[in-house]
């Protein structure tokens, strides 16, 4: 480790020395989570800040010992699954023999770990070898991915510090992932089941939230796309449950829920998505002309629109990941526009009469949204997005021509 270079580090080193605790160098080089926790407990009466810092490292190590990518590189001394505490002499022997991490308990063959005990450790004292065998057996009952790892003498913490990694950031990510696993699925899935609304499997439901990771979608559009599966969009049904007198859709008679507003309204959402299907098919034909033979007309489903599931027909078009992103962008922008136009309809219409939306106006709404997406892709400016913008523009024109032709007959 680097030499002390500031007052805080000097204070830490002197505090450890005065308390008769292992040096900071030894803690980083050879000690596992239980040893960090023991030091944290000892420091609690001497320096609370240092105690909390050591406890945080202990928690960090405990988490890393449970991860399939990092478990081999946790220190042996003070490991979470340590069957029996090592004596002072045993610790010194491990230190002298440079037996530091869990990975060294496993035999290496062909450059990768195997499930067998490292026979070289039989040269240690019998009692120490027995303890190491017990630890190795406990670990291999939990993890089976031995052939993904190699032996390494450096502990995980030592590696992170040598690479100057942001340990706080790594720790926060682990904490967030752990919290996510304890939460399971969002409450919105349970309330949908309670209200007898169709829901997909858990994996599909959770993947709906991955929309927030797609960089080409604006933050405001992501917000609406996030709120739809989360059931947090304001609707007439929510207004009724909050004490308002009316729960009907502003366009038609049924109760306005999130699903009705975005998908099922016969006067607005449903026919608009019907139009969008044809336009998307025209877009794909212009973008991928070689796939036209045998390609199917796009059919948007409940899961495509609400949960962002990939459109099944894209397989026949052999669409690229970029095309998937553009279609997600288009679908999310249509949902955003549907919601904001519904809000405007409620604001502008103060009477109890229903808002009338003609087929021509719906078509204009869809075309305006598509044109906004085209302008946005052109603004992004890279060759990939410009090609998609050009094809979307051609698809829009082809859809308009098809509508005119249908109206003539």
Q: What's the pLDDT tens digit per position in 58-104?
A: 998 888 888 888 899 999 999 989 888 899 999 999 999 999 999 99
Model confidence at 390: pLDDT above 80? yes
Q: What's the pLDDT tens digit per position in 355-377?
A: 888 888 999 999 999 999 999 99
Model confidence at 184: pLDDT above 80? no
Whole-number pLDDT of residue 8 = 84
Q: What's the pLDDT tens digit per position in 215-244?
A: 999 999 999 999 999 999 988 888 888 887
What average pLDDT does this structure show over 182-209? 87
**How many Cβ atoms from other residues are within 10 Å of residue 375's Cβ?**
11
- Cβ contacts of residue 269 below 8 Å, gap of 6+? 260, 261, 262, 263, 338
Distances (CA, A) of 340 to 235, 276, 348: 12, 18, 12
What average pLDDT does this structure show over 280-288? 89
Whole-number pLDDT of residue 4 = 46
Output the pTM of the full model.
Answer: 0.63
Q: Tell which residue, 322, 318, 316, has the closest CA to residue 299.
A: 316
pLDDT bracket for residue 407 (50, 70, 90): low
**How many Cβ atoms from other residues are within 10 Å of residue 28's Cβ?**
20
Q: What is the mean pLDDT of the chain?
A: 88
Q: What is d(CA 149, CA 151) in angstroms, rounded to the nearest whole number?
A: 7
Whole-number pLDDT of residue 302 = 92
């Amino acid at each position: 480790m680097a030499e002390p270079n500031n007052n805080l580090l000097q204070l830490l080193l002197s505090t450890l020395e005065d308390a008769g605790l292992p040096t900071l160098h030894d803690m980083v080089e050879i000690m596992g989570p239980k040893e960090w926790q023991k030091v944290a407990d000892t420091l609690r009466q001497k320096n609370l800040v240092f105690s909390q810092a050591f406890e945080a490292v202990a928690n960090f190590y405990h988490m890393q010992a449970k991860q399939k990518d990092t478990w081999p590189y946790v220190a042996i001394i003070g490991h979470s699954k340590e069957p029996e505490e090592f004596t002072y002499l045993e610790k010194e022997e491990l230190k002298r023999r440079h037996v530091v991490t869990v990975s060294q308990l496993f035999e290496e063959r062909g450059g990768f770990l195997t499930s067998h005990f490292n026979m070289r450790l039989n040269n240690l004292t019998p009692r120490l070898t027995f303890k190491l065998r017990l630890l190795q057996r406990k670990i291999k009952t939990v993890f089976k991915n031995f052939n993904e790892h190699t032996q390494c003498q450096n502990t995980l913490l030592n590696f992170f510090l040598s690479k100057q990694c942001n340990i706080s950031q790594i720790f926060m990510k682990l904490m967030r992932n752990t919290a996510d696993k304890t939460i399971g699925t969002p409450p919105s899935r349970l309330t949908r089941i309670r209200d007898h609304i169709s829901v997909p499997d858990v994996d599909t439901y959770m993947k709906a939230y991955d929309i927030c990771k797609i960089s080409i979608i604006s933050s405001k559009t992501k917000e609406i796309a996030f709120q739809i599966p989360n059931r947090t969009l304001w609707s007439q049904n929510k207004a009724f449950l909050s004490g308002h007198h009316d729960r009907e859709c502003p366009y038609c008679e049924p109760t306005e829920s999130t699903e009705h507003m975005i998908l099922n309204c016969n006067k607005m959402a449903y026919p608009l998505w019907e139009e969008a299907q044809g336009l998307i098919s025209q877009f794909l034909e212009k973008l991928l002309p070689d796939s036209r033979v045998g390609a199917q007309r796009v059919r948007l489903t409940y899961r495509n629109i609400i949960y962002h599931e990939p459109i099944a027909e894209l397989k026949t078009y052999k669409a690229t990941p970029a095309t998937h992103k553009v279609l997600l962008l288009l679908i999310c922008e249509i949902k955003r526009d549907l919601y904001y136009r519904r809000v405007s309809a409620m604001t502008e219409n103060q009477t109890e009469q229903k808002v009338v939306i003609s087929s021509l106006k719906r078509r204009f709404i869809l075309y305006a949204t598509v044109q906004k997406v085209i302008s946005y892709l052109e603004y992004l400016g890279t060759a990939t997005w410009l090609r998609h913008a050009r094809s979307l523009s051609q698809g829009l024109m082809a859809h308009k021509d098809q509508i005119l032709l249908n109206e003539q007959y």
